[in-house]
Structure 1
Amino acid sequence: MPENSVVISGAGPNGLMLACELALAGVRAIVLDKLTEPSAEPKANGLVGQVIRLLDMRGLYHRFGGAPGAPWTMNGYAFSGIPMSFAELQDNPMHVLLLPQPKLVRLLEKHTLELGAEIRWGHELTDLVQRPDGITVTVAGPDGSYDIDTTYLVGADGGKSAVRKLAGIGFPGSTFERTITRMAHVSLPAEVRAADGSIDIPGFGRLPMGHNRLAHGGFVFAELEPGRPLIATMEFDAEPVSDEVPMTLAELRASLQRVLGVDVPIQEPPGPGPHALRRTVGQNTRQADRYREGNVFLVGDAAHVHSAMGGPGLNLGLQDVANLGWKLAAQVNGWAPTGLLDTYEAERYPVGVRVMMHSLTQIALMAPGPEVTAMRDLFTELLRIPANAAHIANLLAGSDVRYDTGDHHPLAGLLVPELVVDTPQGSRRVAELMHKARPVLLDLSGGTDFAHAAREWDDRIEVIAATSPDAPATALLIRPDGYIAWVAGDSGHAEENRLRGVLSRWFGAPRAS
């Protein structure tokens, strides 16, 4: 294989996280980005869902600002602005970490460099040529154009992905041309701010924090950072605006007038910024027709774009990365079983379909019209039922994702549950056992010799003997992305033989004794 086994185009959260996943497996990637430094443009304001547990499994949750202990969960959330309570949920999956995207990128950049990956800022991928044994990537750098020979290329370069286009991968879907969203950080008079986080607009009344659906469009208010509230509008059937026309606060103020029917006294926010000031014309919902073309792979927005409502973007993209990373590393390191890389698209494509389904539903429920009002009234009733709230919570968090691992146990294919286990090193959370991004055979039997059955794979898996009063099974085989590949229903030779078969399926042939 070429010295540069993996090239990643795009140094956003997904590209950098993929470089980290590969580095943990001993694969040093090159990350390219046309920007000369990490973008300071405010985009996502935080992370929600299962991605928080992924960060916890890599030791990054606390490092990135999470509170001590297991990841925190929200007591409620909203679906298209319709509030839901999770107070009666036994297992609340809606984890949250308020972390602006520019800060997330800076933290991941530092972590990427610590792990030994190479980031080339100001180096833009401009062409690629696939060969039977790899890919030649053409790059435009500060000192001119040059080529890189690599075995694998991953496009993490956003919704307008050059990698996707150059690889000839289609991007079907829909675009609502006359939907316009305007967003900005603003300054507001103190008298319109309420202690509960809502906003009391003179001539209109009080609007709660979050998404609000009104007769003439949508209104969003949130103060995620003290003293720098964020306001946004969504207008349907709006007059198109050219991308060449700069967005201004005056334009947002005029939009607020149309949506609310009153003037909102917004001003420039204090401080040096950078502050959000963005217009999005049209709403795209698209998914690549395939996530792989030869040795080219797509992750994140390069593979799927959708509404940001509900915050699914980083939850979806970073879990694409966790799924692909260990499989790509296994291929580079020479122990991947036949077809392992094919399971990336097989597992992640349906997840993208579900995210686009609920994203489109939320957009539809924000549209004007009495029929939509009626649907929202019905949804409001339905979401007051705890079982329905649990279903939507699992959908939004991605905790309903279940991969086909070939094991029919109820836990197989799901993300490993939160567990505290007692090991010879002391009491530990399962997430702490996953920091190395290696497969973990967690033997909870207190005596069954599953370690002996797995001895011929001990060069690529961690075997950990532990006990737990809450043990859900005799033993669990956990993939590097945190998903359960096998569950021991009992002990004995039959289970040990079944374990060997699962190890071969996911982690390759046993090494020579």
Structure 2
Amino acid sequence: MNRHHPHHDVIVAGAGPVGLFLACELALAGCSVLVLEQAAQADAPMKRLPFGIRGLSAPSVEALARRGLLEQLEVPRRLKHPFGDPARMPAPPARRQIGHFAGLPFFDEDIERARWTRRLPGSLDTSMLSEMAELESVLAHRAQALGVTIRRGAAIAGVEQDAGGVTVRAGGELADGGMTYSETLRAGWLVGCDGARSTVRKLGGFDFAGTEPEFTGYSAQVDLADPERLPPGRTLTATGMFFQSQPGFLVMQEFDGGAGHGATPPTLEQVQAVLRRVSGTDVGVSALHAASTWTDRARQATRYRRGRVLLAGDAAHIHAPLGGQGLNLGLGDAMNLGWKLAATVQGRAPDGLLDTYEAERHPPGARVLDWSRAQVALMRPDPGARALSAIVRELLQTRDGATHVAGRIWGVDTRVDLGEKADAHPLAGYSVPRFELEDGRRVDDLLRDGRGLLLDFGGDAGLAGLASGYAERVDYVAGPAREQLGISALLVRPDGIVAWAGDDEGCPAGAEPALARWFTPL
């Protein structure tokens, strides 16, 4: 069956969290969005607990809160232990582990949170556990409520772009079990959020540079014939590592150069063979319920945009899933890109606005890839890595070491390079603190509609007059806050990033160029 569909503003390839979040951001700004997803069904065993567990860092937690989505997630509220029944786990250590770097723990009491001076009383958690399946479900419902069309079982087979838009050929089996179909779609823009094997990236001609893998990782739910042969927790071995969170739930790493990774899930025989090699035992696997493989391949698109085709999430950058950085990096891409692409689609973007997406998101992607590579270097099963690992373990037991690593992993210290002058306000480029106005409203509430925000604690008449010229783009809110950090006013972009801040009353002169840079006047 051949079908033709009307023009869309944006086609998003991929209905994972990044693609769905981007679709929500675009639709919130008034764009017509079509999401194409190759998989016919949304649900999959590896998206559910325990393998579907994902850590959300501070920027992701804040982004979801600012769109009213965080409160819809039930798993973070009820998840008392990431792997189910704590009674089935070994006794907890005397000190509370709160994270790790390359499997090396850091502890809550070693983190000096007072150094994070931008975090106000009432700030959201710096990290939060979530489930991939629930996150996708919440985002999908939100997208559909905003008018986004989601078509599953639709694989992209061709991409052609011209000066006026992008033509996409797609086909497959409909998710409702309908007949095989093919269709030609037309949109102004195409964004590839279709994962590590991104078809959009390949068809769009993007370069994908980086390093090849050193190991194959395995996540598997199995029945063990003799479970007593494997200890719980994390065990380093001569060929890699295995981690048993609870009986039968395994994560393994074998330093084989990535040879075990393939497009199809591993078989029972493969999982058993790897487990025996890594553990050095003859443990038996009597049943395999679910399994997947992954590697530490670290690659990044050299450009995030080619004409009218853009990349976000794993389509733009891949690395080992160590420390849960990938999902957060992708959600950050979506939050950054959504309002900029929407403004471009609607012809209200200042010159160069869309170019700032790559300029702002490529550097943090490169940093995360190096962060991942550093962890792999510590995890190698050789004497040099073991010696270095012992030193890093000691550093993580210091307040400086634990605070630095926690701040990096949780994104607390993340700052967007706005390309500003050296004398720009110290808060510019950071996520806006969770200011609470004296009337009880928080910044989260004021950013729900995805517009810019000019927050004026002093009620300056000049700022009010300036804001009136941007009333269709920026909300002006005046009133004192319970804690103002010495700031009299600030401009916040739709993605929650502080674009400008002023320390003195009567500062419309400083706000005017910032408004003009990020928004167009009426």
Is the contact made by 2:435 and 2:482 (CA closer than 8 Å) also made in structure 1? Answer: no
Aligned pairs for 1:295-334 within 5 A = 295-334=308-347
Structure 1 residue 82 and structure 2 residue 95: aligned? Answer: no
Q: Which residue of 1 aligns with 2:502?
A: 488
Question: Which residue identity lines up with residue 73 of structure 2 in the other structure?
Answer: F
1:2-45 deviation per Cα after TM superposition (whole angstroms, max 9, x unaligned): 84111111111111111100111111211111222214141541
Secondary structure in structure 2 of the residue aligned to 1:399 = coil
Q: TM-score, normalised by structure 1?
A: 0.86
Distance 1:310 1:221 in 2: 17
CA positional deviation for 1:53: 1.6
Structure 1 residue 256 and structure 2 residue 256: aligned? Answer: no
CA positional deviation for 1:86: 3.4
Secondary structure in structure 2 of the residue aligned to 1:42 = helix
Q: Which residue of 1 aligns with 2:290?
A: 276
Question: After the TM superposition, which of the residue ranges 471-480 and 319-328 deviates more from structure 2?
Answer: 471-480
Question: Which residue identity lines up with residue 417 of structure 1 in the other structure?
Answer: P
Structure 1 residue 138 and structure 2 residue 169: aligned? Answer: yes
Question: Which residue identity lines up with residue 5 of structure 1 in the other structure?
Answer: D
Question: Which residue identity lines up with residue 414 of structure 1 in the other structure?
Answer: Y
Question: After the TM superposition, which of the residue ranges 318-327 and 235-244 deviates more from structure 2?
Answer: 235-244
Distance 2:196 2:7 in 1: 29
- Identify if the C-alpha distance between structure 1 residues 377 and 438 changes in structure 2 by more than 3 Å, giving closer, same or farther: same
Is the contact made by 1:77 and 1:85 (CA closer than 8 Å) also made in structure 2? Answer: yes
Distance 2:125 2:102 in 1: 16
Q: Which residue of 1 aligns with 2:188?
A: 151
Structure 1 residue 167 and structure 2 residue 190: aligned? Answer: no
CA positional deviation for 1:253: 3.5
CA positional deviation for 1:207: 4.8
Aligned pairs for 1:25-40 within 5 A = 25-40=29-44
Is the contact made by 1:448 and 1:491 (CA closer than 8 Å) also made in structure 2? Answer: no
Q: Which residue of 2 aligns with 1:111?
A: 142
Structure 1 residue 235 and structure 2 residue 254: aligned? Answer: yes
Distance 1:391 1:377 in 2: 18
CA positional deviation for 1:115: 1.0
Is the contact made by 1:19 and 1:28 (CA closer than 8 Å) also made in structure 2? Answer: no
Aligned pairs for 1:59-78 within 5 A = 59-65=68-74, 76-78=98-100
Is the contact made by 1:7 and 1:154 (CA closer than 8 Å) also made in structure 2? Answer: yes
Find the partner of 1:414 among 424, 427, 430: 430
CA positional deviation for 1:368: 0.6
- Identify if the C-alpha distance between structure 1 residues 244 and 158 changes in structure 2 by more than 3 Å, giving closer, same or farther: closer
Secondary structure in structure 2 of the residue aligned to 1:62 = helix
- Identify if the C-alpha distance between structure 1 residues 363 and 134 changes in structure 2 by more than 3 Å, giving closer, same or farther: same
Is the contact made by 2:75 and 2:130 (CA closer than 8 Å) also made in structure 1? Answer: no
Q: TM-score, normalised by structure 2?
A: 0.84
Distance 2:281 2:352 in 1: 60
- Identify if the C-alpha distance between structure 1 residues 212 and 242 changes in structure 2 by more than 3 Å, giving closer, same or farther: closer
Q: Which residue of 1 aligns with 2:455?
A: 442
Q: Which residue of 1 aligns with 2:244?
A: 221
Secondary structure in structure 2 of the residue aligned to 1:316 = helix
Distance 1:372 1:301 in 2: 28
Give percent identity, aligned residues only: 38
Is the contact made by 1:300 and 1:318 (CA closer than 8 Å) also made in structure 2? Answer: yes
Distance 2:215 2:502 in 1: 51
Q: Which residue of 1 aligns with 2:511?
A: 499
1:389-415 deviation per Cα after TM superposition (whole angstroms, max 9, x unaligned): 222122222333222332611111011
Distance 2:488 2:358 in 1: 31
Secondary structure in structure 2 of the residue aligned to 1:404 = coil
Aligned residues: CA RMSD: 2.7
CA positional deviation for 1:128: 1.5
Aligned pairs, number: 476
Aligned pairs for 1:390-429 within 5 A = 390-405=403-418, 406=420, 408-423=424-439, 427-429=440-442
- Identify if the C-alpha distance between structure 1 residues 183 and 346 changes in structure 2 by more than 3 Å, giving closer, same or farther: same
Secondary structure in structure 2 of the residue aligned to 1:276 = strand
